[in-house]
Structure 1
Amino acid sequence: MKCKAKKRVIPELPHDLIGEILQRLCVKSLMRFKCVSKLWLSLISDPQFAEWRFELPANRLLFQPDEFGTIKSLDVEASLHDDSATVQLPLPLPSSPIHNTIMLMGSCRGLVLFNYEECGEFMLWNPLVGFQRSIPHTFRDCCYPSLLFGFGYDASTNDYMVVFVELSDLDFDVPDWPSDISIFSLRDNSWNNGMWVGGRYEDIGDDFKAGSFLNGALHWLVLRFSDVSKVPFADNVIIAFDLKEKTLAEIALPPHLADKFKYQIYSLRVLKDCLCVCCVNKDDETNEIWMMEEYKVLSSWTKCFVVSDFDVPFDRFSPICFTKNGEILGLNMGGRIEKRNDKGELIEHLTFHEVPWFYGCNAQSSLYTGRLVSLP
């Protein structure tokens, strides 16, 4: 008598365990594994799954795009002299063929925002998965005087927002004049124009027009004017626009930095999830980096490190991020990419002559971490 062949039973893994395994895979594999089954497609496409963070081998630093429509991406963990650390990426094309000027406006949670100035179009792009989305706009020139801009995320509504703040012309006969705020909501796919907030502010220059995103708000360093005995007087102050509440608030700087004869502030950054300002101490010719260790707590401003001007050719070191080894990656305003230790001492550098895609001292840059994101 022949024995009946036993039917092979393939064990099934619990859905939660499958999700844990998929979470540990690289994004390229995940894109392919969507085709394995409807279950895997459902798991990988689930918004909650997309909220988990998927990092590249390291954070990447994106630099201002070139005129050929490409952008350079630098691995912040690798040596600056490692050629494999630099990748050239083609940018998504806008709907109009006229796009000679491309401006990097910032990144947030794995998405990067560009402005194609000639054709009046924003482009939202995820370099990791190739997603792109066009956003029409009427701001022909983002470098227009007194126009601040930023890109951020409102966690309460799962909404990405593009924000413009147009500071009003100074009029010292008016005690408190409004600034015009325009917001584009990705969820609503529309602009909300005509929001007005009070404040006597003026922008400092092109280096401060891009907002720094932290704790659900965009931050800019501006001049705040007051009327002291009918004589206009200006102080440096940080303004923060809360994307959820749609309100504008002020964050004070360390009091001693108000001495403009001694200190000159030249950069506002976000480091280790803290606001950070960089300034020149004119008395001893040093660059000081101050960090607000507790958000909106004035007494928490702390001087994290000092860089001597003699160690910074062309003056001014602007930190961008800390590496996993505790090194500080930043830009020298004379056109150098530098890595320094936690004491501010130089470890290695590249000059702009060695990096042809680095366009001078005011090149726009943005830190980017690869993520799968669920767009509204």
Structure 2
Amino acid sequence: MKKAIHIDSPIPFSSSLFDNSISLYGSCDGLILCVTYPPRILLLLNPSTREQITLPHSPFHDTTYHVSYGFGYNASTDDYNIVAISCTYAYIIVSVCVYTQKTNSWRIIRDSPLSMVSDAPGTLFNGVLHWFAYENMSTVIAFHLWEEKFQNFPLPCFEAPSIPRFIGVLRGCLCITVGEPDTNSTEFWVMKEYGKRESWTKVATCPHYLTKPLNFTNNDEIQFLMDETTPLRSYNLKNNKYGSRMIPYAYGSLELLQYLEAEICLESIVSPNRHCFTPIVIDD
């Protein structure tokens, strides 16, 4: 990603449907999973084609419990899946359900994680979704889309006050960022052998306490939000230099005050309606 440009949102925020919050729960092949609450409504959206589809209600539609989501492509079935994990506010797992695009339906599965996952979207890597454990930030919870099975594996050992913050993919490996409040910096760790704790390796340190890394490029450049009130920036982990800001502070007379949600989404013509359900195309 070399630059960011402003486009009109394909989601009709003026509609009463979107009067409340909307969150982005990951992107895959140009599709973005959006969740509104309340009411709890899920949409698949392609910003490039401006096509979107409202998904059928999940078993958690009317629940007041906490729900975490993950979204990704399942190569074994050539299908897109959404995983929803519900728990009580005491962080007791209630159930896990999976949406399959081919059937346009949800089903509850038997397997469940040992603890509730974090609020962040599940990170997709090699057909597996990953979250930090909510109550134990020293553990990653993984869900294999093709087996529909959960797996836990530990993070590297950190000393307080180090804080694991985000999961991504860097240099073809699963990656985590670790915030260091004492030095106002962020460390980057990669798991060189998937699933093996001893293979975690620290590969770089950025001299800034990053709010949200968005993208890791092939030349070891990270693109991130500095914080909630500053522009999208880039930082090269090889030469330890910042790039120029990628989003201006204002678009004409509209001051850009805050970045609340952001996802990297590749341009594609993949339809959220591949299996001929009723789509919605937003007119300009």
The 1:157/1:335 distance shift into structure 2, 3 A limit, reads: same
1:281 aligns with 2:180: yes
Aligned-pair distance for 1:353? 4.8
Contact 2:69 2:84 in 1 (8 A): yes
Please report how far the alpha carbon of residue 321 of structure 1 lies from its aligned counterpart in structure 2 after TM superposition.
Answer: 1.9
Matched, 1:211 2:122: yes
Does the aligned pair in 1 maintain the 2:65–2:89 contact within 8 Å?
no
What is the rounded CA distance, in whole Å, between the counterparts of 2:93 and 2:40 in structure 1? 26
AA of the residue aligned to 2:125 = L
Do the aligned partners of 1:123 and 1:132 also contact (CA within 8 Å) in 2? yes
Is it true that 1:192 corresponds to 2:112 in the alignment?
no
* 2:154 alignment counterpart: 252
Partner of 2:233: 338
TM-aligned CA distance change 1:111 to 1:306, over 3 Å: same
> What is the CA–CA distance in structure 1 between the aligned matches of 2:211 and 2:19, rounded to whole Å?
30
Unaligned runs of 5+ in 2: 276-284
- Deviation track 1:223-242 (CA, whole Å, cap 9, x = no partner) reads 45xxxxxxxxx452110111
Task: Tell whether 2:180 aligns with 1:180.
Answer: no
2:2 aligns to what? Answer: 77
Shift of 1:105: 2.1
Q: Name the CA distance, whole Å, in 1 between partners of 2:200 and 2:210.
A: 20
- Contact 2:124-2:130 within 8 A present in 1 as well: yes
2: CA distance, partners of 1:124 / 1:287: 32
Q: Which amino acid aligns with 1:371?
A: S
Show the counterpart of 1:220: 131
Residue 162 of structure 1: CA displacement?
A: 1.5
8 Å CA contact retained: 1:125, 1:131:
yes
2:186 partner amino acid: N
Residue 327 (structure 1) aligned to one of 221, 232, 256: 221
Contact 1:292 1:300 survives alignment (8 Å)? yes
Question: Closer, same or farther in 2 for the Cα pair 1:357/1:160, shift >3 Å?
Answer: farther
Shift of 1:297: 2.8
Q: In structure 2, what is the equivalent of residue 128 of structure 1?
A: 48
Query: Are the equivalent residues in 1 in contact too, given 2:129–2:144 (CA < 8 A)?
Result: yes
Distance 1:369 1:151 in 2: 15
Q: Secondary structure in 2 aligned to 1:88?
A: coil
CA offsets per residue over residues 146-186 of structure 1, 9 Å max, x none?
Answer: 42111111111111111111235659xxxxx7551011111
State the one-letter code of the partner of 2:198: S
In the TM superposition, residue 339 of structure 1 has moved relative to its aligned partner by 1.1
Q: 2:80 aligns with which of 160, 165, 179?
A: 160
Q: Deviations over 1:304-346 (max 9, x none)?
A: 21122xxx3xx43543223465432112234332111224432
DSSP-derived class of the 2:258 partner: coil
The AA in structure 1 aligned to 2:122 is G
List gaps (5 residues or longer) in structure 1.
1-75, 79-84, 172-176, 225-233
TM-score (norm 2): 0.78
> Equivalent residue for 2:210?
316
**Structure 2 CA distance, aligned partners of 1:322 and 1:194?**
33
Q: Which amino acid aligns with 1:185?
A: T
Tell me, in whole angstroms, the C-alpha distance in 1 between the residues paired with 2:164 and 2:17: 37
SS at match of 1:98: helix
The structure-2 alpha-carbon separation of the partners of 1:192 and 1:358, relative to structure 1 and needing over 3 Å to count, comes to farther
Cα-to-partner distance string for 1:239-284 (whole Å, 9 max, x where unaligned): 0111111111012211x22x3x241122222334432211123554
RMSD across aligned positions (CA)? 3.1
Paired residue for 2:279?
A: none
Q: Which amino acid in 1 is paired with 2:144? A: D
Could you tell me which residue of structure 2 aligns to residue 366 of structure 1?
263
Larger Rg: 1
Q: Is the contact made by 1:294 and 1:300 (CA closer than 8 Å) also made in structure 2?
A: yes
Q: CA deviation at 1:198?
A: 5.1
CA distance in 1, matches of 2:93, 2:222: 39
> Could you tell me which amino acid in structure 1 is paired with residue 108 of structure 2?
N
Distance across 1 between alignment mates of 2:152 and 2:44: 29
| Alpha-carbon distance in structure 2 between the residues aligned to 1:98 and 1:235 | 35
Q: 2 CA distance for matches of 1:122 and 1:235?
A: 28
Which has more helix, going by share of residues? Answer: 1
- Alignment of 1:88 with 2:13, yes or no, is no
**2:30–2:265: 8 Å Cα contact kept in structure 1?**
yes
Query: How big is the shift at 1:90?
Result: 2.9
